[in-house]
């Protein structure tokens, strides 16, 4: 280890506090109220946070990549518009507030929902984690609404107050959706929520398409210290299934071809045991 002049912190910033370094950035961007709402209620909306031109480019690019399918993933390297989206200053600032300095990009995906598209089902994005959820948020989801979000258009729905339960919804709660409200905002807005909030989406009743770019940031601790990627195949071939699990081969995340959804349920179940 080389010498460093960096001072080692011994204190931890409480979950809802904005660091002294981040505060002027948050204030100059005018998003202090969003940070407060995110901390207190688990969700917020950056209203039309970006230019109409960027929103149109994002929407057109997603539609071209998705084709006739319901969406696409592993988008970061597929068009520069995705880098522009994930690097939006407002998003970077609120992500640092929520999932901490040095946070990681976890996913850049897109969904395209048409009339009759079913709802995704109620869940909390802390699906990687067992309950009770920690005091510090681990995952921040930013859904860039390329089209107006209304209930009829199939907007995301949220259960107010659910973030405070710090647990996954039960089967009954998933079926009942008690107290659900739509996140309503105009095209180009970004709906943001933490890993605690229970959310789903309404079925789309209108014609046309609801195009959304889903961006997830995660806390730095969600990543291993050592990266055995270049040795992974050799190690797994030599040592078998347990080694495969230790190196992350058993989960749906971080696959070279995008998330492997055939392993999704098992991953989420493993996280709760
Ligand atoms: O598509 C939506 O409205 C909700 C998306 C969602 O549940 C998620 O990204 O976690």
In a shared domain, residues 100 and 173: yes
In a shared domain, residues 215 and 268: no
pLDDT of residue 229: 84
Q: What CATH code is carried by the domain that includes residue 76?
A: 2.60.120.620
Residue nearest to ligand 1 atom 9, measured at CA: 214
Q: Find the mean pLDDT for residues 226-247.
A: 87
In a shared domain, residues 186 and 106: yes
Q: Find the mean pLDDT for residues 114-135.
A: 93
In a shared domain, residues 188 and 228: no
Which atom of ligand 1 is closest in space to residue 156's alpha carbon?
3
Is position 267 within any domain?
yes
In a shared domain, residues 268 and 170: no
Q: What is the tens place of the pLDDT at every residue in 163-184?
A: 999 999 999 999 999 999 999 9
In a shared domain, residues 145 and 266: no
Is position 239 within any domain?
yes
Most confident of 72-86, 117-131, 142-156, 209-223: 142-156
The tally of domains found in the chain comes to 2
Residues linked to residue 200 through DSSP beta bridges, in sequence order:
157
**pLDDT at residue 105 greater than cutoff 90:** no
In a shared domain, residues 230 and 217: no
Residues linked to residue 141 through DSSP beta bridges, in sequence order:
193, 216
In a shared domain, residues 125 and 57: yes
DSSP label of 257:
T
In a shared domain, residues 110 and 228: no
Structural domain ending residue among the three candidates 221, 241, 256? 221
Quick check: 196 and 42 in contact, CB under 8 A? yes
pLDDT of residue 103: 85
Is position 140 within any domain?
yes
Position of tokens 């230790």? 246
In a shared domain, residues 89 and 119: yes
Q: Is 79 helix (H, G, I), strand (E, B) or coil?
A: coil
Most confident of 58-62, 106-110, 238-242, 254-258: 58-62
Of 164, 198, 155, 192, the residue nearest 178 (C-alpha): 198
Range of the domain at 228: 224-273
d(CA 259, CA 267): 11
Is position 73 within any domain?
yes
**pLDDT at residue 130 greater than cutoff 90:** yes
Which atom of ligand 1 is closest in space to residue 111's alpha carbon?
1
Confidence band, pLDDT 50/70/90 cuts, at residue 1: very low
In a shared domain, residues 143 and 230: no
Is position 192 within any domain?
yes
Is position 182 within any domain?
yes
**Which of 212, 215, 217 to mutate to test ligand 1, by most ligand atoms within 8 A of the CB atom?**
212
In a shared domain, residues 241 and 268: yes
Mean pLDDT across the chain, nearest whole number? Answer: 91
Confidence band, pLDDT 50/70/90 cuts, at residue 97: very high
d(CA 141, CA 200): 13
Position of tokens 């210290």? 225
pLDDT of residue 272: 66
Q: Find the mean pLDDT for residues 53-62.
A: 96
Which atom of ligand 1 is closest in space to residue 125's alpha carbon?
10
Q: Find the mean pLDDT for residues 134-154.
A: 96
Question: Residue 161's Cα: distance from chain center in Å?
Answer: 19
Confidence band, pLDDT 50/70/90 cuts, at residue 271: low
Structural domain ending residue among the three candidates 179, 202, 221? 221
Q: CB of 201 closer than 6 A to ligand 1? A: yes
Q: CB of 199 closer than 6 A to ligand 1? A: yes
d(CA 235, CA 121): 38
pLDDT of residue 264: 86
Confidence band, pLDDT 50/70/90 cuts, at residue 49: low
Which atom of ligand 1 is closest in space to residue 113's alpha carbon?
1
d(CA 202, CA 27): 34
Is position 213 within any domain?
yes
Our separate counts of H helices and E strands in the chain read 9, 9
Is position 7 within any domain?
no
State the Cα angle at 175 between 171 and 179, rounded to 5°.
Answer: 115
């Amino acid at each position: 280890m080389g010498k460093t002049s960096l001072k080692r912190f011994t204190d931890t910033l409480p979950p809802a506090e904005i660091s002294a370094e981040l505060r002027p950035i948050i204030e100059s961007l005018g998003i202090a109220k969003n940070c407060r709402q995110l901390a207190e209620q688990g969700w917020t909306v950056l209203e039309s946070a970006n230019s109409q031109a960027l929103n149109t480019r994002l929407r057109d690019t997603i539609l071209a990549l998705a084709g006739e399918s319901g969406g696409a993933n592993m988008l970061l390297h597929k068009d520069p518009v995705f880098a522009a989206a994930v690097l939006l200053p407002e998003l970077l600032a609120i992500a640092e507030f929520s999932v901490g300095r040095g946070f990681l990009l976890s996913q850049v995906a897109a969904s395209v929902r048409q009339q009759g598209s079913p709802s995704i089902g109620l869940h909390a994005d802390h699906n990687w984690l067992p309950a009770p959820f920690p005091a510090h948020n681990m995952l921040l989801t930013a859904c860039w609404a390329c089209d107006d979000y209304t209930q009829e258009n199939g907007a995301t729905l949220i259960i107010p107050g659910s973030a405070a339960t710090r647990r996954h919804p039960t089967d009954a709660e998933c079926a009942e959706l008690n107290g659900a409200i739509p996140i309503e905002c105009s095209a180009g807005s970004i709906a943001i929520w933490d890993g605690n909030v229970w959310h789903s989406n309404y079925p789309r009743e209108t014609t046309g398409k609801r195009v959304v770019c889903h961006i997830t940031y995660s806390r730095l601790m969600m990543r291993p210290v050592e990266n055995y990627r270049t040795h992974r195949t050799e190690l797994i071939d030599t040592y078998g299934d347990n080694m495969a699990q230790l190196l992350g081969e058993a989960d749906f995340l971080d696959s070279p071809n995008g998330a492997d959804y055939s392993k999704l349920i098992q991953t989420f179940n493993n996280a709760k045991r």
